[in-house]
Amino acid sequence: MTTLHLYNTYSRKTEEFRSIHDKIVGLYVCGPTVYGPPHLGHVRGPVVFDVLRRYFLHLGYKVRHVRNITDVGHIVGDADDGEDKLQKQAALEQIQPMEVAQIYTLSYNEMIRQMNVLPPSIEPLASGHIIEQIEMIESIIKAGFAYEVHGSVYFDVIGYSKNHEYGKLSGRVLDDLMAGAGNESRELEGQDEKRNANDFALWKKATPEHIMQWSSPWGKGYPGWHIECSAMSRKYLGDTFDIHGGGMDLLFPHHTGEIAQSTACTGHNPANYWMHHNMITINGQKMAKSLNNGIQVTELFSGNHPLLEQAYSPMTLRFFILMAHYRGTLDFSNEALKAAEKGLQRLFNAAELAKNLVASDSSDFDIKSIETSIYASLNDDLNTPQAIAQLFEAARITNVVNDGKGKINAEGIQLLQHIFSEILTNILGIIPESNTSNNALDGVMQMLLNMRKQAKEEKNYALSDQIRNQLSELGFEIKDGKDGSSWSLV
């Protein structure tokens, strides 16, 4: 494919991407609810949409990327009291709800910064857009698609579906939803106020115990879960924008609700393309509290978790995520992560070598076709694993040429360098991680390596091996190459 195509969940087809405005893209991605530390499930979306954004930039688009922070709690479904999720956590830790939100907003942003995810253009807080949400609810009421009961406002799903396809995005039929609704133990607060069990809250009346509540035309309360994204995407990207993204778990009800709300308000679907990344699994199982396999991102980075055999770096995690296509499930295991770690190192090594290749008059390799197929892969719904496979081919060629077992001309070298710098670094966002060492440590290590080199030259292998073995015990790995030795911390 020579132009970018993306899979649109709304049409269930891969479509050619065409922006509403020439060379400008509006991208809205659902961000985290900041009530707990970020776990592995939180990282995939940011990385996937970061690559999409970087690719747009590469293609010459200007991108406005909006990613919200949900700091307004929602009803807790599995609790018996329906209290605000943020409030609950706050009570547990004896701190303010906004303090909880702040702590986890910071840790979320720190996490994705380490993974080289570009910060969004705008990162709006739900709590900072209560007025916009209230205004939107009012216009939905005015349009006749919502009703107020005892200080709460609900979206009228039945009324809406008379002239709209409510369940289209998620492939659901309203009759099925109605048959399934309310047949479980799940008892939501205010369920009996609704005209229909499928109606969802736009605004919820707050009880006095609710710390987070705001004044509204319907009394003190707080916004429903879906309205924030509708209100904020509309404010910053307009009534219609290009892409709305998120996890597949948001398909229903969140994005379904968003489409209904916006349509009720503006008359049409807010986004032209709906993109959804798949979920992750751990050792083939879903990540769940009950399975005790929930891994926090900081635990992955430190290796401090019973399921982890070692620490994995942020860049390893990023690369690992991109080795799978975003619409498939992604399985975490030590074996798979280690494979990603080693493979990534191989690419980094080759990217370094490519900077110093010697040109020949002729070339044994067709680098241009590699580049072409990389772009074809990215254009095909962001097929990063295929693109990465081609990067490994470029790495292999680089190594062969570097070993003097193949020839390449100056143009080929330039292309190789371009592939590593543009594709690997700029589009995939994979950058070498700075060594955790400092200057003093570097100096000491260089000294030891020099001493060992001298011992080797004097054929004092007892001493050279002693240096290597003792360093090894301390966790340093010594690598002897043609041009001297190097070291790394294992």
In terms of Cα–Cα distance, which of 404, 382, 420 is closest to 55? 382
Among 63, 137, 275, 350, binds RNA (CB under 7 A): 350
Chain residues 90-109 in contact with RNA, contact rule CB under 7 A: none
> Is residue 84 close enough to count as binding RNA by CB under 7 A?
no
Least gap, CB of 128 to RNA (angstroms): 18
Does 305 contact RNA by CB under 7 A? no
Of 220 and 456, the one with the shorter C-beta distance to RNA is 456
As a whole number of angstroms, the distance between CA 191 and CA 194 comes to: 6
194 to 134, 201, 227, 439: CA distances (angstroms)? 19, 9, 17, 66
Decide whether 24 or 406 has the Cβ nearer to RNA.
406
Q: How many CA atoms does the CB half-sphere of 90 hold within 13 Å? A: 22
Q: Assess 311 for contact with RNA (CB under 7 A).
A: no
Considering the rule CB under 7 A, would residue 279 count as an interface residue with RNA?
Answer: yes
Asked whether position 244 contacts RNA by CB under 7 A, the answer is no
Contacting residue, 21, 195, 342, 368, with RNA by CB under 7 A? 342
DSSP 393-424: HHHHHHHHHHTTSS--BHHHHHHHHHIIIIII
**307 touches RNA (CB under 7 A):** no
- At 67 the three-state DSSP class reads strand
Residue span binding RNA (CB under 7 A) among the ranges 131-139, 356-364, 395-403, 430-438: 395-403
Q: Which residues, including other chains, have CB under 8 Å from residue 210's CB and lie 6 or more apart?
A: 83, 84, 87, 222
Closest to RNA by CB, 84 or 138: 84
24/164 with CB nearer RNA: 164
Instruction: State which of residues 119, 128, 144, 180 lies at the interface with RNA (CB under 7 A).
Output: 180
Select the residue interacting with RNA from 284, 292, 361, 474 (CB under 7 A): 284
Which is nearer to RNA, 138 or 156 (by Cβ)?
A: 156
- In the beta sheet, which residues pair with residue 98? none
Of the residues 107, 114, 313, 345, which one makes contact with RNA according to CB under 7 A: 345
Give min distance, CB of 31 to RNA, in A.
Answer: 8
* 285 or 470: CB nearest RNA: 285
Q: For residue 131, how many C-alpha atoms fall within 13 Å in the half-sphere facing its CB?
A: 2
Nearer to RNA, 61 or 326 (CB): 326
- Enumerate residues 211-240 that contact RNA by CB under 7 A: 225
Residues that contact RNA, how many (by CB under 7 A): 95
Residue 427 β-bridge partners: none
Considering only residues 11, 392, 442, 446, which one is a binding residue for RNA as defined by CB under 7 A? 392
Q: Does 330 bind RNA (CB under 7 A)?
A: yes
* 253 upstream amide cis, omega within 30 of 0: yes
Instruction: Decide if residue 386 touches RNA (CB under 7 A).
Output: yes
Could you tell me the smallest distance in angstroms from the CB atom of residue 169 to RNA?
10
Among positions 181, 211, 311, 376, the unique one binding RNA when judged by CB under 7 A? 181
Q: Which of 58, 88, 235, 396 binds RNA (CB under 7 A)?
A: 396
Q: Is 287 in the site for RNA (CB under 7 A)?
A: yes
Question: Applying CB under 7 A, does 26 fall inside the site for RNA?
Answer: no
- The residue type found at 101 is A
352 binds RNA (CB under 7 A): no
Q: Under the criterion CB under 7 A, does residue 204 sit at the interface with RNA?
A: no
Contacts 24+ apart (CB under 8 A), 291-296: 294/39, 294/40, 295/39, 295/40, 295/332, 296/37, 296/38, 296/39, 296/40
Instruction: Return the structure tokens found at 309.
Output: 């055999």
Rounded CA gap, 211 and 131, in Å? Answer: 18
Please identify which residue in 199, 258, 299, 371 interacts with RNA, judged by CB under 7 A. Answer: 199
Q: Which of residues 137-166 bind RNA (CB under 7 A)?
A: 157
Q: What type of residue sits at position 297?
A: V
Closest separation in Å from C-beta 461 to RNA: 4
Pick one of 77, 128, 217, 267: the residue that binds RNA (CB under 7 A).
Answer: 77
Strands (E), 231-295: 241-247, 271-277, 280-282, 285-286
Q: Choose one: 126-134, 261-269, 317-325, 424-432; the region binding RNA (CB under 7 A).
A: 317-325
**318 near RNA, rule: CB under 7 A:** no
Q: What is the DSSP string of 201-230?
A: EEEEEPPTT-SS-B--TTSSEEE-TTHHHH
**Binding to RNA, residues 456-485 (CB under 7 A):** 456, 461, 464-465, 468, 477-482
What are the two backbone dihedrals, phi and then psi, of residue 40, each rounded to the nearest 5 degrees? -55, -30
User: Is the CB of residue 44 less than 8 Å from the CB of residue 280?
Assistant: yes
Query: Where do the DSSP E strands lie in 101-249?
Result: 146-149, 152-155, 201-205, 221-223, 241-247
Determine how β-strand 201-205 pairs with β-strand 152-155: antiparallel
Contact status: 198 vs RNA (CB under 7 A):
yes
Please select the residue that binds RNA; options are 388, 408, 430, 445, rule is CB under 7 A: 388
Instruction: Please identify which residue in 223, 253, 270, 314 interacts with RNA, judged by CB under 7 A.
Output: 253
Q: State the amino acid at position 144 in one-letter form.
A: G
